[in-house]
Amino acid sequence: MQRRLGLLLQRLQNVYSRNLDHYAKSIGLTGTQMLIIEYLASFRQKKPLYQKDVEHEFNIRKSTATNILNLMVQKGLIVRMTSSVDARLKELELTQKAEQLDEQVTQYFIASEQKTEQILGKQAKQELMADLVKLEQALNK
């Protein structure tokens, strides 16, 4: 049977998502919340981040980002602060609760990357990532 690339990518994404969600549940989060915590933590000292940055990074619609971020506010994981640059914008900041979870979140993603590298090898992993970026850019046009 001939395999389709799109189907293989979807199946792989499902595996990654299930593994992520399983671990996230063990620390009281969802997989998406873990991804957003890691993203916000990675820019903590560099620049303010806004909802539009989350939308762009995760390629999600504004309404989806709004729902996810509102739930994270309700769970006490992030706060929205009025921007010092533009009062219409709300900066996203991790709460102390999320910062305490950040170490576990980061360790999960490091371990996941290492496992992928063990399976594929460092060079093949880098080539695959480059090819996936190239595909995404070409298909988004």
| Nearest of 115, 118, 95 to residue 23 by alpha carbon | 115
- The answer to whether residues 65 and 50 touch, using CB atoms and an 8 Å cutoff, is no
Chain mean pLDDT for the chain: 93
Q: What is the predicted pLDDT for the residue at 47? A: 85
Cα–Cα distances in angstroms (integers) from residue 36 to residues 14, 73, 137, in the given order: 18, 12, 22
pTM score of the predicted model: 0.87
21-63 pLDDT, tens digit each: 999 999 999 999 999 999 999 987 788 899 999 999 999 999 9
Place of tokens 């299930």: 18
Q: What is the predicted pLDDT for the residue at 141? A: 77
Q: Which two tokens stand for residue 93?
A: 């900041």
* Among 65-74, 77-86, 97-106, the least confident range: 77-86
Q: What is the predicted pLDDT for the residue at 2? A: 67
Strand pairing partners for 81?
91
d(CA 124, CA 136): 18
